[in-house]
Structure 1
Amino acid sequence: MFNPPLLPGMPDFHDSVEYLRHHRNLSRESTAQKAGFSSSYLNQLIGQRKTPGTAVFDKLVEFFGLDLDPCRHLEDLLQPSGSLESTDELRRRLVNHGVQAHLDWLDQREILGAYTDPLQTVLLANQVLHRMMPGLADCDYNIIRWMLTPIARDRVYGWHGELLDLVRHL
């Protein structure tokens, strides 16, 4: 059974390479040798968080047999994080675009409606959502934080699976 190492923090390129290496039950030395570069370079890559050149990146992708999606994921992990607009700014934009009228229309039909940011913070929502998620304001309107509350556990059918899906998506 594969038992990957527990790596601290958010995953990044270096942790992902380490994960893939462990998944194959290989040492750093044998991974580097089989991928076609030196073990000291792999140690720098993982241990010192060095950014690989294109040739080494391509060798790792080929060695690990990664198809398009995992390869793109590794490429994305090498890019610096983008900054997110503040929730206040995103809310202002939604108000300026007049989306409340659409939320009101959904409310009249008892259809849940909300606009969220990438971190699952509710920017604007209709009354149906607020009835379905009491206490959301106490969680700074963050759905993930709300899902960790006892009320969410009681109200959400299949709570555990829904929580896992939200975390995966995040």
Structure 2
Amino acid sequence: MRENPGTGASAEPHRLLRRQQARVPTLPEYLKQVRVQQKPKLSRRNAESKTGVSEHYIRDIETGQRQPSAHTIEQLIAGYQLIPPQARHVRELLAPPIDLTPTETLHSQVHRSQGLLDHMSILEDRGVLAAYVDPLLNVLLLNKHMLRAYPRLDEVGNVAPWIFGPYSRGVLTDRANEADQVVALLKAVMGRHRNAPQTTHLLSRLRPNNDFNRIWTTRTRIAYGRETTDYLRWRDQITGERFAASIYSTDVEVPDVVLYLAFHKRDNDIRGDT
């Protein structure tokens, strides 16, 4: 199924959008991005004084002509004052990429695991929103509560295109936050699994969306999880009620499979707690 592209950057010239297409994360590109997005913006000469790495060496790293050492990477992390998720991302981009189990294999393993199926049934009986996904947020199995909160997610097959596509409009009440969250998460995961075919395939699905490209190419945020107080907020499409949920994720018995749980209550109740 093809999702309609977003409209947030539709007024930008087509030529500009072509130059700012989302690409698989690389160490040279990310290091350049964090340098130029420093406040104030750092030239390579000023970056040399902050990091202790020569201007010419920084240029060669950013253009892919030299592979930095681990020591140099630590100098850049300290000089650019990267926060822990960004620093981890840089280190993972320096390390060799990690393979990722094909989505079809994971789907089969989840549906053959009686333990995982039984656990999903228990969560459904308890009214907990739950889904098994792979690290790239490809949906492997979800319960009826999650499907009610994310209408037609089973058809779209991945959380990210669902968020940036038409089905999330009128459902997510803080869609901008969810878009920012999913991009930060995907950057981390795609950096780790940058050679996986699933990474290339998902980016090809998301790239036609102008909003996705804008966030991907202009922000350096990286996420390896989500604060439980950063609530997912949505409107029930049947009753019109607004809900909010704390999101939890945990690994399960099948490698490369993650269980996502959402413990929800009425949004007004949560806002009243804060």
TM-score (norm 1): 0.76
Map 1:74-85; keep pairs closer than 5 Å: 74-85=90-101
Aligned counterpart in structure 1 of residue 79 of structure 2, from 43, 48, 63: 63
Aligned counterpart in structure 1 of residue 131 of structure 2, from 114, 117, 140: 114
1:115 Cα deviation after fit: 0.6
- The reply on whether 1:50 has 2:66 as its aligned counterpart is yes
Distance 1:43 1:35 in 2: 13
1:9 Cα deviation after fit: 2.2
Distance 1:165 1:91 in 2: 24
SS in 2 for 1:154: coil
Instruction: Specify the code of the residue in structure 1 equivalent to 2:124.
Output: D
SS in 2 for 1:82: coil
In the TM superposition, what whole-angstrom CA distance separates every residue of 1:38-91 from its partner, at most 9, and x where no partner exists?
A: 433222211134211234334333433456554333211212322211122112
1:102 Cα deviation after fit: 1.9
SS in 1 for 2:101: coil
Could you say if the C-alpha distance between residues 148 and 94 of structure 1 is closer, same or farther in structure 2, counting changes exceeding 3 Å?
A: same
Partner of 1:126: 143
Partner of 1:13: 27
Instruction: Specify the code of the residue in structure 2 equivalent to 1:56.
Output: T
Aligned counterpart in structure 1 of residue 154 of structure 2, from 137, 147, 163: 137
Could you say if the C-alpha distance between residues 54 and 131 of structure 1 is closer, same or farther in structure 2, counting changes exceeding 3 Å?
A: closer
In the TM superposition, what whole-angstrom CA distance separates every residue of 1:82-137 from its partner, at most 9, and x where no partner exists?
A: 22111221122223331112222222333322111111111011222233333223
Could you say if the C-alpha distance between residues 110 and 8 of structure 1 is closer, same or farther in structure 2, counting changes exceeding 3 Å?
A: closer
Q: Which has the larger radius of gyration?
A: 1
SS in 2 for 1:124: strand
Which has the higher mean CA deviation after the structures are superposed, 122-131 or 10-19?
Answer: 10-19
Distance 2:50 2:164 in 1: 44
Could you say if the C-alpha distance between residues 49 and 136 of structure 1 is closer, same or farther in structure 2, counting changes exceeding 3 Å?
A: farther
Instruction: Specify the code of the residue in structure 2 equivalent to 1:14.
Output: P
- The reply on whether 1:149 has 2:165 as its aligned counterpart is yes
Partner of 1:3: none
- The reply on whether 1:168 has 2:205 as its aligned counterpart is no
Distance 1:135 1:7 in 2: 27
Distance 2:50 2:143 in 1: 56
Distance 1:17 1:68 in 2: 15
- On the 8 A contact 1:7/1:15 being kept in 2, the answer is no
User: Higher strand share goes to which structure?
Assistant: 2
- Please list every run of 5 or more consecutive structure 1 residues that lacks an aligned counterpart in the other structure: 1-5
Could you say if the C-alpha distance between residues 88 and 11 of structure 1 is closer, same or farther in structure 2, counting changes exceeding 3 Å?
A: closer
- Please list every run of 5 or more consecutive structure 2 residues that lacks an aligned counterpart in the other structure: 1-19, 187-274
TM-score (norm 2): 0.51
Instruction: Specify the code of the residue in structure 1 equivalent to 2:138.
Output: T
Distance 1:144 1:61 in 2: 29
Distance 2:184 2:64 in 1: 28
Could you say if the C-alpha distance between residues 145 and 62 of structure 1 is closer, same or farther in structure 2, counting changes exceeding 3 Å?
A: closer
Give aligned pairs, total.
Answer: 164
